[in-house]
Amino acid sequence: MKKEIPYKIYLEESELPKKWLNLRAFMDKKPAPLLNPGTLKPMTAEELSAVFCDELVAQELDETTPYIDIPDEIRDFYKMYRPAPLVRAYCLEKALGTPAKIYYKFEGNNTSGSHKLNSAIAQAYYAKKQGLKGVTTETGAGQWGTALSMACSYFNLDCKVFMVKVSYEQKPFRREVMRTYGANVTPSPSTTTNVGRKILEEFPGTTGSLGCAISEAVEVAVGSEGYRYVLGSVLNQVLLHQSVIGLETKTALDKYGIKPDMIIGCAGGGSNLGGLIAPFMAEKLQGKADYRIIAVEPASCPSFTRGKYAYDFCDTGKVCPLAKMYTLGSSFIPSANHAGGLRYHGMTTTLSELYHQGLMEARAVEQTEVFKAAEQFARVEGILPAPESSHAIRVAIDEALKCKETGEDKTIVFGLTGTGYFDMVAYQKFHDGECPTISPPKKTLQKVLQACQL
Amino acid sequence: MKKEIPYKIYLEESELPKKWLNLRAFMDKKPAPLLNPGTLKPMTAEELSAVFCDELVAQELDETTPYIDIPDEIRDFYKMYRPAPLVRAYCLEKALGTPAKIYYKFEGNNTSGSHKLNSAIAQAYYAKKQGLKGVTTETGAGQWGTALSMACSYFNLDCKVFMVKVSYEQKPFRREVMRTYGANVTPSPSTTTNVGRKILEEFPGTTGSLGCAISEAVEVAVGSEGYRYVLGSVLNQVLLHQSVIGLETKTALDKYGIKPDMIIGCAGGGSNLGGLIAPFMAEKLQGKADYRIIAVEPASCPSFTRGKYAYDFCDTGKVCPLAKMYTLGSSFIPSANHAGGLRYHGMTTTLSELYHQGLMEARAVEQTEVFKAAEQFARVEGILPAPESSHAIRVAIDEALKCKETGEDKTIVFGLTGTGYFDMVAYQKFHDGECPTISPPKKTLQKVLQACQL
**CA-based nearest residue in chain A for residue B418:** A111
Mean pLDDT of all residues in A331-338: 74
CA B332 – CA B314 distance, rounded (Å): 11
Interface test with B, best of A81, A106, A171, A181 (most B CBs within 10 A): A81
DSSP per-residue codes, A343-403: --SS--HHHHHHHHTTSSEEEEE-HHHHHHHHHHHHHHH---B-HHHHHHHHHHHHHHHHH
Torsion over CA: A63, A65, A67, A69 (sign): negative
> Is the distance from CB of A14 to CB of A79 less than 8 angstroms?
no
B-interface mutation test, from A80, A107, A143, A389, most B Cβ less than 10 A away:
A80
For A336-372, write each residue's pLDDT tens digit: 667 777 878 899 999 999 999 999 999 999 999 999 9
pLDDT value of position A337: 66
Taking CB atoms and an 8 Å limit, are A421 and B422 in contact across chains? Answer: yes
Q: Average pLDDT for residues A202-211, to the nearest whole number?
A: 85
Which of B352, B354, B369 has its CA nearest to residue B307? B352
Q: Is the predicted pLDDT of residue B249 greater than 60, yes or no?
A: yes
Q: What's the burial of A3, exposed, middle or buried (CB within 10 Å: 0-12/13-18/19+)? A: exposed
Separation CA B201–CA B198 (nearest Å): 5
The amino acid present at A322, given as its one-letter code, is L
Q: Out of A153, A378, A431, name the one closest to residue B111 (CB).
A: A378
C-alpha dihedral sign at B417, B420, B421, B423: positive
Residue A361: CB atoms within 10 Å? 16
Asked whether the beta carbons of residue B431 and residue A179 sit closer than 8 angstroms, the reply is: yes
Whole-angstrom distance, CA of residue B416 vs CA of residue B427: 17
Task: Name the average pLDDT for chain B.
Answer: 92
Residue A346: exposed, middle, or buried by beta-carbon count in 10 A (0-12, 13-18, 19+)? buried
Amino acid at A90: Y
Measured between alpha carbons, how far is B6 from B398 in angstroms, rounded to an integer? 24
DSSP 8-state assignment for residue B342: G
- pLDDT beyond 80 at B195: yes
pLDDT at A317 over 90: no
> What CA–CA distances, in Å, run from A446 to A267, A438, A451, B168?
22, 17, 9, 47
- Which domains are assigned to chain B? 19-69+116-229 (3.40.50.1100), 82-113+236-449 (3.40.50.1100)
Residue A448 confidence class, pLDDT cut points 50, 70, 90:
very low
Confidence of residue A452 (pLDDT cuts 50, 70, 90): very low
Who wins on pLDDT, B425 or A66? Answer: A66
Q: What is the pTM of this model?
A: 0.91
Minimal-distance CA residue of chain B relative to A147: B382
Residue B192 CA to residue B184 CA, distance in Å, equals 13
Can you give the pLDDT at residue B336? 65
Local confidence band at B171 (pLDDT 50, 70, 90 cut-offs): confident
Contact B173 A384 (CB under 8 A): no
> Is there a contact between B173 and A421 if contact means CB atoms under 8 Å apart?
yes
The residue of chain B with its CA nearest to that of A15 is: B6
Strands of B94-179, DSSP E: 101-106, 134-139, 158-164
CA triple A446-A448-A450, angle to 5 deg: 70
pLDDT score of B443 more than 90: no
pLDDT value for B124:
98
Chain B residue closest in CA terms to A177: B424
User: DSSP 3-state assignment of A269?
Assistant: coil
Q: What is the DSSP letter of A25?
A: G
Mean pLDDT confidence for B300-304: 94
Lowest mean pLDDT among A52-61, B72-81, B108-117, B308-317: B308-317
Q: What is the pLDDT of residues B350-394, one digit of tens each?
A: 999 999 999 999 999 999 999 999 999 999 999 999 999 999 999
Chain A residues in contact with B380 (beta carbon < 8 A) = 154
Q: Which site among A421, A423, A425 would you substitute to test the B interface, given the most B Cβ atoms closer than 10 Å to its Cβ? A: A421
Of A438 and A130, the structure prediction assigns the larger pLDDT to A130
Nearest-angstrom CA–CA distance, B48 and B56: 9
> In angstroms, what separates the C-alpha of B35 from chain A's closest C-alpha?
37
Task: Please state, in angstroms and as integers, the Cα–Cα distance from residue A83 to each residue in A90, A110, A248, B54, B133, following that order.
Answer: 21, 11, 7, 42, 41
pLDDT above 70 covers a percentage of chain B that reads 95
Alpha-carbon distance of A136 to A231, in angstroms, equals 9
User: What's the length of chain A?
Assistant: 454
Q: Which helix (H) or strand (E) covers residue B310, if one does?
A: strand B308-313
Confidence of residue A334 (pLDDT cuts 50, 70, 90): confident
Q: How far apart are CA A383 and CA B177, in angstroms?
A: 11
Nearest to A378 among B173, B180, B422 (CB): B180
Compute the distance between CA of residue A290 and CA of residue A261 in angstroms, rounded to an integer. Answer: 8
Residue A44: φ, ψ to 5°: -90, 165
pLDDT tens string A383-403: 999 999 999 999 999 999 999
DSSP per residue over B247-295, as a string? HHHHHHHHHTT---SEEEEE-SSSHHHHHHHHHHHHHHHTTS---EEEE
Which residue in chain A is spatially nearest to B179 when comparing CA positions?
A431
Q: Which pLDDT score, from 0 to 100, does residue B339 have?
A: 75
Q: Collapse the DSSP code of B308 into the 3-class scheme (helix H, G, I; strand E, B; otherwise coil) and give the result.
A: strand
- Say how far residue B85 (Cα) sits from the centre of its chain: 19
Contacts of A173 in chain B (CB under 8 A): 173, 421, 424-425, 428
Write down the mean pLDDT value for chain A. Answer: 92
pLDDT at B314 > cutoff 90:
no
Cβ atoms of residues B372 and B329 within 8 Å: no
User: Is B448 a residue whose pLDDT tops 60?
Assistant: no
Per mean pLDDT, which range of A1-15, B9-23, B27-41, B46-60 is the poorest?
Answer: A1-15
Q: What is the pLDDT of residue A335?
A: 73
Q: Which residues pair with A162 in a beta bridge?
A: A138, A186
Instruction: Find the mean pLDDT for residues B386-406.
Output: 97
Mean predicted confidence (pLDDT) in A293-298: 97
- Cβ distance A424 to B375 less than 8 Å, yes or no, reads no
pLDDT interval class at B2 (50, 70, 90): low
Rounded Cα distance between A25 and A5, Å, is 33
pLDDT score of B202 more than 60:
yes
| Contact state of B421 with A422 under an 8 Å Cβ cutoff | yes
Chain B contact set for A12 (CB, 8 A):
6
Residue A11 has pLDDT above 60, yes or no: yes
Distances (CA, A) of A153 to A135, A187, A248, B335: 12, 21, 26, 33
Q: Write down the pLDDT at residue A356.
A: 98
Chain B residues touching chain A at CB-CB below 8 Å: 6-8, 10, 12-13, 79-81, 87, 91, 109-111, 113, 150, 153-154, 172-173, 176-177, 179-182, 375, 378-384, 419, 421-422, 424-425, 427-428, 431
Contacts of A378 in chain B (CB under 8 A): 111, 180-181
Local confidence band at A214 (pLDDT 50, 70, 90 cut-offs) = confident
Model confidence at B287: pLDDT above 60: yes
d(CA B448, CA B454) in angstroms, rounded, equals 12
Of A6, A109, A382, the CB nearest to B150: A382
**Helix or strand (DSSP H, E) at A431:** helix A424-431
* pLDDT exceeds 70 at position A446: no
Residues on chain A touching B91 (C-beta within 8 angstroms): 80, 154
Model confidence over B73-128: pLDDT tens digits?
A: 999 999 999 999 999 999 999 999 999 999 999 999 999 999 999 999 999 999 99
Specify the range with the lowest mean pLDDT, choosing from A106-120, A293-307, B111-125, B207-221. B207-221
Q: What is the ipTM of this complex?
A: 0.87
Nearest to B424 among A150, A173, A384 (CB): A173
Beta strands in B34-172 (DSSP E): 67-69, 86-88, 101-106, 134-139, 158-164
